[in-house]
């Protein structure tokens, strides 16, 4: 797996507006993959947060009325949370929206694949920045066997250094697995 294969598999039309989601709270995230042996960036949230405390997620956050669209939200939040500035022309596509079960956000994921990144700096919304080897990470996918979750919606888990990635982040990762296997 190299960056060109990833670019080919994950490139898509970008439509940063979600009009048909009504009153749902809107958010967006940025999936950042970099390096010749591809690494995916994720963050670990501090345990004191009101929503998603201690969870592993992608940089991103809720739509702000000052943002022109959800792509701008994802780029702004990524810059604020981990100090990584990505331009709109470095975003190669987007994935299908996912809904968080706990906080009721509809999240639009965008994808950026870049050759390298500079040093990053976490803000107060991020406990740790994780640089995860993509190929081995995607192989950790398992179906969530909790029958209560299955009734709610499709559930998967991934694992990195004994940390479980689940929920909306895992459903976003599942989309990447699906695109790479198509």
Looking at residue 120, its pLDDT comes to 97
Place 93 in a pLDDT band, splitting at 50, 70 and 90: very high
Domain contains 21: yes
> What SS3 state is found at 89?
helix
Higher pLDDT, 163 or 52: 163
> The tokens of 171 are what?
């459903």
Q: What is the pLDDT of residues 122-175, one digit of tens each?
A: 999 899 999 999 999 999 999 865 555 544 556 789 999 999 998 899 999 999
The pLDDT assigned to 102 comes to 74
Q: Which domain holds residue 86?
A: 3-133
Q: What is the mean pLDDT of residues 83-111?
A: 93
Q: Is residue 157 part of a domain?
A: no
Distance CA 54, CA 48 (A): 8
pLDDT of amino acid 67: 94
Nearest CA-CA partner of 27 in 38, 35, 39, 16: 16
180 part of a folded domain:
no
Is 70 among the domain residues? Answer: yes
pLDDT of 29 strictly over 90:
yes
Instruction: Please check whether residue 159 lies inside any domain of the structure.
Output: no
CATH of the domain at 31: 3.90.79.10
Determine contact, residues 34/129, Cβ cutoff 8 Å: no
Number of structural domains found in the chain: 1
The pLDDT value recorded for residue 51 is 66
Predicted model pTM: 0.91
The answer as to whether 144 is a domain residue is no
Task: Find the radius of gyration of the CA atoms of the chain.
Answer: 15
pLDDT of residue 22: 57
């Amino acid at each position: 797996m190299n960056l060109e294969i990833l670019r080919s598999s994950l490139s898509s039309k970008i439509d940063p507006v979600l009009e048909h989601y009504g009153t749902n709270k809107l958010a967006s995230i940025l999936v950042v993959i970099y390096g010749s042996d591809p690494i995916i960036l994720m963050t670990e949230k501090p345990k004191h947060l009101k929503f998603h405390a201690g969870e592993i997620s992608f940089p991103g956050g809720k739509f702000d009325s000052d943002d022109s669209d959800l792509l701008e939200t994802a780029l702004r939040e990524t810059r604020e949370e981990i100090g990584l500035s990505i331009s709109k022309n470095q975003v190669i596509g987007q994935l299908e929206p996912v809904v968080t079960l706990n906080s009721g956000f509809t999240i639009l994921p965008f994808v950026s694949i870049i050759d390298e990144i500079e040093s990053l700096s976490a803000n107060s919304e991020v406990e740790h920045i994780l640089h995860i080897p993509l190929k081995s990470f995607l192989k950790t996918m398992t179906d969530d066997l909790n029958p209560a979750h299955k009734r709610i919606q499709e559930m998967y888990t991934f694992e990195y250094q004994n940390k479980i990635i689940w929920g909306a982040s895992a459903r976003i990762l599942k989309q990447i697995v699906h695109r790479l296997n198509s």
